[in-house]
Structures are given as structure tokens and as C-alpha cells.
Homo-oligomer: A and B are copies of this chain.
Amino acid sequence: MTATTLVDDRLELYGTVTAAAIAAYVQERKLPAPLADVLTGFTMRRGKGIRPALCLAACEAFGGTIDDALPAAAAVELLHSGFLIHDDIEDDTEQRRGRSAMHVELGVPVALNAGDALAVLSIRPLLVNRSALGSRMTGAVLCEFQRTMEHTVAGQAIELDWRSGLVVDLTPLDYLDLVMRKTCAYTTMLPLRVGALIGSWGTADLLAVARFGFLLGAAFQVQDDVLDLVSDRHRYGKDALGDIREGKRTLAVIHFLETCAADDRAYVNAFLAARPTERSAARVRRVAELLRRNGSVDFANAYARRLALAASDAFTEAFGRCAPSPAVDFVAALVPYMVERPA
């Protein structure tokens, strides 16, 4: 079996059980129709399902079963879905999972409340699972979730401040700090830590798991940014060049501003200072072209690969003593997958 087939097969397996668990949770809550319809519609639009897959695989890798971590995996995915909806409002992202973003389709009030609802629902499986995990483990898992959510809102606040404050004097380290809070915290670190915690019954080295999660998540995010710069809309399911249009301070932009010629810097700074509505498609394309010509896209691409190399080492530290299993192979195979996956 090739590594990509292994990844795709496990993503399908983990994604299917998680989607079924989520559907059951949402249905069981007997929510009023206007809310239930919106939530079901959105959660049916499945993404790649990396987050619940990491949670379930980590649990299996450390000796647990899929069932042990399924409520936590469902919670991770519900929470992620809620954040996505709020993120899209905050960034005014127009496309999501190949369709209009929810606030574009149904308006900000309905979307905002749906995001709140998904976050609220995400806590429920964790509470219900106390009958299986016991009070102490349940408390530990809840603490992981609460701390992660704090990282996420803090990261979001920092990024909004960068944009509204017209901050441009940033370094790659500032970017990595933001990515740790915004992406890694709940995309990789939370699901891996919670899965390992449950699977190992509290005996896994969670710091080593977190280190691996950070490097894997950072590689994922940097590559995601690169894909936004080089992909077309049809293949990627989000806005092409959406990050540029939103004025996102990605690694490529930060590298560009550190290394480009003075007049190019002036052009991009003026672009970043402009209102989103003033950022015409032509200006967006021009900025993307400037980044490419300056080697900033290549820089980000190479950076993602270096992060992936470091992630491979960290994987050995974190999972090296786990017994061989498809779950362990899956987690290992995710490292190259993150930086080599198709747009």
C-alpha cells in the first residue's frame, strides 16, 4: 500500500465514524428545525477530517480503541466547524468547502449563531463520555479543550490586530507563534494530545506529542498558505488568492517584506493598508506575482519542507515506543502528506 493510499483509507475510515457520531449527537439534541437544518447541512459538508483522524489514530497508537476517543474526535470536529464559520465571518472569506461560506449564504446572524451552537454542542460528547472515561480523565480532556480554545481566540485576536493595526514589521517567528495558537493548537496538538491521553490512560509523554503536533500543524499551515498562492479555485474549494485578498500576513508575505526592493515593499504595504473592498482582483494578482518573482513562495514552500523534516524527528520521539499498527503508520505518513498533498 502506498503512503497516500494509507492516508486516504484511514481518513475515510476515521471520517466516516466521526461523521456518524456527529450526526447522532446533533439529532439526539432535538434542536429546533431552523438550527438543526443549518448544522446538519454544514457538518455534512465534510472536509478532509484531519483533526478527528489525528485524535482517533493517536488513541489507537497508544493502545486505545476508536470507540474510546470517538466522542473526543467528534468534539474536535464540531469545535473546528464552529470556529470555521466564525473565522469566515471575521475574515469575510467567501468560499468554504466548495460552496459559499455560511454567512454569505444565510447572513451573519444565522452563521454567527450556528458557530456558537457547534461550539456548545462540542462540549456535550465530552461530558457524556464520563461514563466511559471516569471523572478524572474527563476533567483532563475538558482542560485540554478549554486551553486550546483560549489559544485559538488569542491567536485570532493577534491576527485581527495585525490587520487592523496595519502591522507589517513581522518576522517568521511571529508567524510561527501565531500559527501555533491559531492552527496547531486545535488542528494537531489538541487532537493528538487528547487521543494519546485517552489511549495511554494518561501515561503518554504529552509534551513530546505536543511538539510533534506543533511541527506537523505548522508544516500543514505553511503549505496551505502556499497552495492558496498557486492553486486555482476549482481544485482547492476556497477562494484562490483569498489570503492575499484578506491581507493575511503569511510567511510568504513576511519574507517578501523583509527581502524585496523598496518600491515593491511600498506597493504591498499600500495594498495591506487598503480596505478589503479596495483590493481589486488586479491588485491581488499583482501582489501574488510580486511574491512569486521575489522567491517568497519558494521560500515558504521550502520552509514547509523543513518543518516536515523536523516533524518526522519529533514523530519518532513521540510515537517511537508505540507498537506497530496501521494507526501509527497513518500518523507517520501524514508528515509527507501535509507538504506533498495535491491542491
Contact = CB atoms under 8 A, between A and B. Distances in A.
A108 interface: yes
Interface string A91-133: 1000000000000000111101110110111011001001000
B107 A89 contact: no
A250 interface: no
A322 B8 CA distance: 62
Interface stretch (A42-50, A157-165, A294-302): A157-165
Chain A binding surface, main DSSP class: helix
B90 A153 contact: no
A202 interface: no
Interface string A157-180: 110110011000000000000000
Contacts of A90: 108-109, 112-113
Nearest to A161: B34
Given A135-B136, A138-B139, A142-B142, A153 B120 contact: yes
Interface residues of A, number: 45
Contact of A157 (B113, B127, B138, B154): B113
Contacts of A119: 116, 119
Nearest to A107: B164
A149 interface: yes
Contacts of A157: 31-32, 34-35, 38, 110, 113-114, 117
A107 B157 CA distance: 12
Contacts of A160: 34, 109-110, 113
A139 B130 contact: yes
A29 interface: yes
Contact of A32 (B117, B152, B154): B154
Nearest to A147: B124
A86 interface: yes
A158 B113 contact: no
21 contacts: A32-B154, A32-B158, A34-B158, A34-B165, A35-B153, A35-B154, A38-B157, A86-B113, A108-B108, A113-B156, A113-B160, A117-B153, A123-B142, A124-B150, A127-B139, A127-B142, A127-B146, A130-B139, A135-B136, A135-B139, A142-B142
Interface of A: 29, 31-32, 34-35, 38, 86, 89-91, 107-110, 112-114, 116-117, 119-121, 123-124, 127, 130, 135-136, 138-139, 142-143, 146, 149-150, 152-154, 156-158, 160-161, 164-165
